[in-house]
Amino acid sequence: MYDLTAPKQEIREAVSYKKLLIFLIFLTCIFGVSMLLSASTAYSIKYYGSSTYIFKKQLLFMFIGFIIMFLTSKIDYKFFRKIAYPLYIFGLILLILTYIPYISHKIKGAHRWINLGLINLQPSEFVKIFVVILLAYLIEKKQDIINNFSKGFLPFIVIPGISMLIILKQPDFGTFMIIGLTIFIMIFIAGTRISYIISMVLVSLPIIYFLIMSTPYRKMRFLAFLDPWKLYKTFGFQIAQSLISFGSGGFWGCGIGNSVQKLFYLPEAHTDYIFAIIAEELGFFGVIGVLGLFFALFVVCLKISLKIDNLFGKLMGIGFSFLIIIEVLINTGMCMGILPPKGIALPFFSYGGSSLLAKFFMFGIILNMAREIEEK
């Protein structure tokens, strides 16, 4: 029921946020699947004998995702406060299953997937969401002692840190960093002492440096990031080819479907590096359009979150908002050569069922938050 005492302008604004979010999700999906069709055609023909194989599979995931989003939007978001710990434990179990023979699906030496037959599920995509839900619950529960280091601040790092260590072991350094950054942002917004944040950053930096330099392939990727042309034939190949895509696109691009780089010059053209194909085919203005679309999603989700009148919902929504934008910034920064290469997908654009379904689940929760605002 609408609160008849509320100003009409506020009611209209709340309704517009909900409709605008749905519109932006649809627009992102249409744009994303269109670019995926273009980027995956050559790959689909070579490995599956059909130019639309990957496109059709992504459409199926998208259809399932919309069902998940619709059903999740019907669940009161405050319900997730009650199951924050069970969800997190469930996520840990899924992560552990990635190491179990005959269940796990190993790709290029990484234990990141569970073989479910029709889909290889990547648990870390859902664990990111579960960590945000758990952290929002913990902060709300401990808000009175948030400035106490051992009882208030440390649990926010240690408890989610368990999942981060398992993910790092898979190895999945990119997801490890995304979760870490999201945690820091959430506890900073929650009002913990700046000195705690600075201390953790200072402690984390040498650890991150060690994790990079002590692992040969991470070290070589980092060196390739610094000078991709020097290591062009090995670790710098992807970055160099991605930069060629950006250079080839210019302002207006070569047109949808006309990319040369997707013809097996650029590895992972339909997954991690699809943004480079967008730059080649749609040019500078296409790149700005994609970034603008994600920024609009971020702003709308953030505004919905800030209108929620309880700390759990507010922090959960803020965490989801930053989770999306951090992934976008890392992926696009990687493709443009301003960040080291990481196996991070571009939400709704890169091929992958787990990422897509997880995002729809997350947006379903945010839509329920928008519905609550509308009904006040």
- In terms of pLDDT, which residue wins out, 334 or 232? 334
- The answer, yes or no, to whether the previous bond of 171 is cis (omega within 30 of 0) is yes
Which of 309, 306, 363 lies closest to 3, judged by CA?
309
- Band the pLDDT of 4: cuts 50, 70, 90: very low
Full strand arrangement of the beta sheet holding 104-107: 104-107, 110-115, 120-121
Q: How far is CA 69 from CA 254, 344, 354, in A?
A: 35, 22, 14
In whole angstroms, give the CA distance from residue 287 to residue 87.
36
According to the model, what pLDDT value does residue 342 have?
Answer: 84
pLDDT at 55 over 60: yes
In whole angstroms, give the CA distance from residue 311 to residue 306.
9
In whole angstroms, give the CA distance from residue 100 to residue 83.
26
- In terms of pLDDT, which residue wins out, 239 or 5? 239
Which of 370, 244, 351, 239 lies closest to 307, judged by CA?
370
Copy the structure tokens of residue 287. 């790149």
- In terms of pLDDT, which residue wins out, 32 or 224? 32
pLDDT at 223 over 60: yes
* Relative orientation angle of helices 274-307 and 311-335, to the nearest 10 degrees: 160
* Ramachandran quadrant class, 308 (left: phi over 0; alpha: psi -120 to 50; beta: rest): beta
110-115 and 104-107 strand pairing: antiparallel
In whole angstroms, give the CA distance from residue 82 to residue 137.
9
pLDDT at 232 over 60: yes
**Number of neighbouring beta carbons within 10 Å of residue 331:** 25
pLDDT tens figures, 294-350 = 999 999 999 999 999 999 999 999 999 999 999 999 999 999 999 998 889 999 999
List the beta bridge partners of residue 115: 120
Copy the structure tokens of residue 358. 């997880």
Strands (E), the chain: 104-107, 110-115, 120-121
pLDDT tens figures, 89-130 = 999 999 999 988 888 887 777 788 998 877 789 999 999 999
According to the model, what pLDDT value does residue 8 have?
Answer: 43
pLDDT at 375 over 90: no
According to the model, what pLDDT value does residue 105 have?
Answer: 80
CA 331, 348, 277, 120 dihedral sign is positive
Q: 195: Cβ–Cβ under 8 A, 6 or more apart, which residues?
A: none
pLDDT tens figures, 148-158 = 888 888 999 99
Cα atoms in the Cβ-side hemisphere of radius 13 Å centred on 303: 15
Which of 350, 349, 302, 353 lies closest to 325, judged by CA?
302
Which of 162, 82, 178 lies closest to 129, judged by CA?
178
pTM score, two decimals? 0.92
pLDDT at 134 over 90: yes
Which of 357, 351, 277 lies closest to 58, judged by CA?
351
Ramachandran angles phi, psi of 29, nearest 5°: -65, -45
| 129 touches 358 (CB < 8 A) | yes
List the beta bridge partners of residue 313: none
According to the model, what pLDDT value does residue 116 have?
Answer: 83
